[in-house]
Chains A and B, each alone.
Chain A
Amino acid sequence: MNNFTLVRKNLTRNKLRLFLNCFAIFIAFLLFGALGAIKNAFDAGVELSADDRLVTVNKINFTQPLPLAYVNKIRTLEGVKDVTWANWFGGYYQEPKNQLMTFAVDPESYFEVYDDVVVDEQELENWKKDRQGILIGERIANARGWKVGDRIPVSSNIFSKHDGSSTWDFNISGIVRPENPQTDTSYTLIHYKYFMETQIWGGDWIGWIPLTTQNPELNEEVSRAVDKMFANSPAETETSTEAQFSKAFVEQMGDIGFIIMSVVMAAFFTILLIVGNSMWQSIKERTSEIAVLKTLGFTAEKVFAMVLAESFLLAALGGILGLGGAWLSIKAITPMTQSILPALVLGHQVFISGLMFIAILGFVTGIVPAWQAMKLNTIEALSRR
């Protein structure tokens, strides 16, 4: 036996109470982990955006098109490194509810700007050669079980082909893999040229222009230069960093981060009340035992530390189980949420902040009882029988 045994025995003496407290903490951290992962998934676009990447869109709104000619004009600007362009295809697979985020892009320049994803060299070559080729993100490949060489029909809910149908057939040429596992790869890429030639509303219009700067410090200068170049033209532009753009987009849903944090805090506060009260209760019931420990020669500090250790142990027990549960449930639901929340993973930041919260919970619920135990008047406690 050692001091830890004593702490453990104290914690486990009332099995029912231990179970109930653990369960309450478990629930709180399950919510914490799961909601934290969801919040991160929403923030992923902002956090993982490259700091030297800008997006130029139509000033009216990003759904309005820009002339293709802008791309070459932007290339000439000082401070600009690489420029590419993309078009929204509005794709779905077989049924409109199976959304398949599909961009029509320029095969030559796309990966110069998006250098945080990689495609096998051979696969990339094949894609460039095959006009009907499609690159699919790793997440989609995993979720749908598609392999290189498969032929898939992709429909558009915006565009139609000359023959009136709105379904295109593509050959999977390769898989787009992320360098950072949280980077979103739940999209597919098709040839801009092929798309333009086959759909009916012709014209050299593009959706948006991603570009990189030579140095993140030049971001502001470059975006001002771009927007100035097209000022007072029929298609004025608005250039912002990828992070700003993603943030504004997420904000359109509402303040999701705030809502999630509020729920987590509410759950956390509830559990704080419950566990704090229970710890307080159990120390109150133990006054005479604590007094005996003190007569045995246990110092006040030691008693203090033991009670605090108990509450930490309780918080850790329930909390780690809860985080583990959250990890499992997130893993279980990812196949279903692939299309809505592609970046849903319980990352290590959530774990680390979870551990921090466990420590906070342990401290807050234990500090008052520990203090009481430390200050306990031995004589009164012993005569109170």
Chain B
Amino acid sequence: MGSLFAQISAVVKMNLLSLPKRVGSSLTTLLAVAIVVTVLLAFMAMGQGFQKTMAGSGSEDVAIMLRGGSAAELNSGLGGDVYTNVSSSPGIAKDENGPIISGELYVVVDGVKKSSQTEANLPLRGIGPAGFSLRKNISLIDGRMFEEGKTEIIVGTSILSQFSGFELGSKMKFGATEWTVVGVFDAGGSVFGSELLTDVRTLQAQFNRGNSYQSIRVRLDGPEAIQKIRDFIESDPRLNLDVMTEQAYYSDQSRDMGRLVYMGWGLAIFMALGALAGALNTMYTSVEAKAVEIATLRAIGFKGISAFFGTLVESLVLAIIGGVLGTLIAFLLFDGISTSTMGGSFTQVVFDFNVSADAFKSGIILAVIIGLVGGFFPAWRASRMPLLKAFSS
């Protein structure tokens, strides 16, 4: 008898060649694994797509300030005096117009979701003169910028793709005043693209917000800047503000949706247990069907371990093909799908499903685990197949 390796590869080959003989049950395992992987990847694509949108939104050199303890813009409120006071803080970058700072405020308005034809919350955000350029990867792609003091809006491309009624030139009424969409901007897939922007003073006036803001954005002038601002706020008893980089703020906001990835894993693990039952069934049947062959090989001197590996590899091959199939299905079905959900600001965030390389890897790992466990126990039985089986018909 040849080397152990030769034995194993002979048995592996024999097993793989016999696969087509059990097309039904082999396909079952394969498809079951594929479906489980697809479900996992769907959730990962959703969670990671959302996180990608949030992560793409924050800039390292922009700080956002909220009322102390408010955690999200939704709950924050700042008087006009706070804005004035904070603008003299060190650490804020300056240009020819003085410190680069934008006091901001948003109101929630209704938009009609194209997919469901139901109304959904959208942020109509007022920004200061520096507000637009403070945002990363943002550019006007159609029409023009809103003018200060006029009820004019520019709209993000994400909104255009998911909500109806905001096309360039369209008019809408909020309260007693009419607003006009005068421009369209692209924000590179970030959360900014899910907003309607206008002049903050106009918004304050039209919605009776006096001189109040919810957040203040500033450009930082260096890596130490954020600490300088914090120290400045600390030293002024009138100021009670939380300061964080925009990046930190948005990654914090994406945490809830990140749970989707865990949920996907939870569901996938449950379903994987079901698929595992299928794999075990298939492999036990396969071992049973080959009992005579296996026992005969053992009888002529093959080692039990070759039968073990033969079965294990068979199971792994089925599971891995299933896993690859599942990732392909997920990719074709979900990658790039646009949808929206309620974000941390109580308004819609448009994002794209994103089947990442990382998700691919997870899918294959899950498949391999199903294949390994589903193959191990039947393989164990194969390796201990009583030799007598060879002589019974």
Contact = CB atoms under 8 A, between A and B. Distances in A.
Q: Do chains A and B touch in the complex (CB under 8 A)?
A: yes
Interface of A: 16-17, 20-21, 23-24, 27-28, 30-31, 59-61, 63-64, 90, 96, 157-158, 232-236, 238, 247-248, 251-255, 262-263, 266-267, 269-271, 273-274, 276-278, 280-281
A20 B281 contact: yes
B241 interface: no
Contact of B121 (A61, A267, A273): A61
Nearest to B342: A252
B71 A254 contact: no
Contacts of A17: 281, 284
A280 B24 contact: yes
B38 A266 contact: yes
Interface stretch (B112-120, B153-161, B182-190, B225-233): B112-120
Contact of B270 (A30, A252, A280): A30
A158 B71 CA distance: 12
Contacts of A253: 341-342
Contacts of B173: 236
11 contacts: A17-B281, A27-B277, A61-B121, A233-B176, A236-B175, A248-B118, A253-B341, A254-B341, A274-B275, A274-B278, A277-B24
A62 to B, nearest CB: 8
Interface residues of B, number: 49
Given A60-B175, A61-B110, A252-B120, 15 more contacts: A20-B280, A23-B274, A24-B274, A27-B274, A28-B274, A60-B107, A61-B121, A157-B75, A235-B175, A252-B341, A254-B341, A263-B267, A266-B271, A270-B31, A281-B281
| Dominant secondary structure of chain A at its interface with chain B | helix
B176 A234 contact: yes
Contacts of A20: 277-278, 280-281
A269 B108 contact: no
Contact of B109 (A16, A60, A269, A276): A60
A269 B28 CA distance: 11
Nearest to B30: A273
Given A23-B273, A28-B274, A278-B281, A273 B31 contact: yes
Contacts of B274: 23-24, 27-28, 267, 270-271, 274
A233 B273 CA distance: 60
Contact of A281 (B42, B70, B285, B339): B285
Contacts of B69: 96
A157 B282 CA distance: 57
B107 A266 contact: no
A262 B35 CA distance: 11
B86 interface: no
B32 interface: yes
A24 B24 CA distance: 18
A23 B277 contact: yes
Contacts of A28: 274
B332 to A, nearest CB: 15
Contacts of A21: 277, 281
Given A157-B75, A274-B28, A281-B25, A60 B110 contact: yes
In the complex, which of the residues A61, A235, A273, A280 has the most CB atoms of chain B within 10 Å of its own CB atom? Answer: A61
A252 B121 contact: yes
Nearest to A158: B75
B174 interface: yes
- Residue with the highest number of chain B CB atoms closer than 10 Å, among A30, A252, A278, A281: A252
Given A254-B339, A266-B39, A248 B271 contact: no
A281 B285 CA distance: 8
A78 B342 CA distance: 37
A238 B116 CA distance: 18
Contact of B340 (A90, A254, A267): A254
B366 interface: no
A247 B118 CA distance: 8
B61 to A, nearest CB: 29
Contacts of A60: 107-110, 174-175
